[in-house]
Structure 1
Amino acid sequence: MVDTTPLTQAVDHFADRLRAAPQSRLQRSAAAEALALARELSGWAQRKESPGAEPREMPDAGMFAVADQILVAAHDLAVVLDSDDQVAEAVRLVEEARQRAGV
């Protein structure tokens, strides 16, 4: 079994930062970056779970929901990752999105 703790810790940190961010920061870029990340992680998880099936796109539930959306997507992905390299790649995606979001 692969240790996905680094991924869950990274995404928990990002979600906490989003929840603490002012609305103006969310409107500028943070919410859009988080939604893009949630969609990317969700698509990755769906492709691993159902190869060949078209992934469903995570809907835009609004800027105040993006923290929960990245948590759900990352935790779904953590269940299907099967190598340390995949965990490292997911953590890299989370960290890059957090930096672009400015939180």
Structure 2
Amino acid sequence: MLDTTPLLDAVDHFAAALRAAPQSRLQRGAAGEGLALARELARRAQRIETPEREPRTMPDAGVFVVADQVQVAGRDLAEALRTGPAAEEDAVADLVTLIRTAERRAFP
């Protein structure tokens, strides 16, 4: 079974940083980075779970919700990777890189 622990750890770390950020920091771009990441993670999970259907776009629910959106989308993707078609360990490593890159853009 695919180990998604590194993916979950990266998601949790970024979500915690978003939760700890002041409103001004979230409004200056951190929330936008988080939302973009959450949307991408959700899109990838949907592609695995229902490849025949066009993915829905995660809505913008506001700067104070984006940490939860990142965490939910990341956990959904981890579950899709674990239960879906065989995924490579490289896929998890690539996702961790994607998350860390978004976090560095959000919190330079």
- Alignment match, 1:76: 76
| 2:107 alignment partner in structure 1 | 102
Q: Structure 2: state its 5+ residue gaps.
A: 82-86
Q: Which residue of 2 aligns with 1:30?
A: 30
TM-score, normalised on structure 2? 0.92
**Partner residue of 1:9?**
9
Aligned-residue RMSD, C-alpha: 0.9
In 2, the alpha carbon distance for the partners of 1:50 and 1:85 equals 22
TM norm structure 1: 0.96
Q: How many angstroms does 1:90 deviate by?
A: 1.0
How high is the sequence identity, in percent, across the aligned residues? 63
Q: Which runs of 4+ in 1 moved over 2 A?
A: none
Unaligned runs of 5+ in 1: none
Q: Which of residues 78, 81, 98 in structure 2 aligns to 1:93?
A: 98
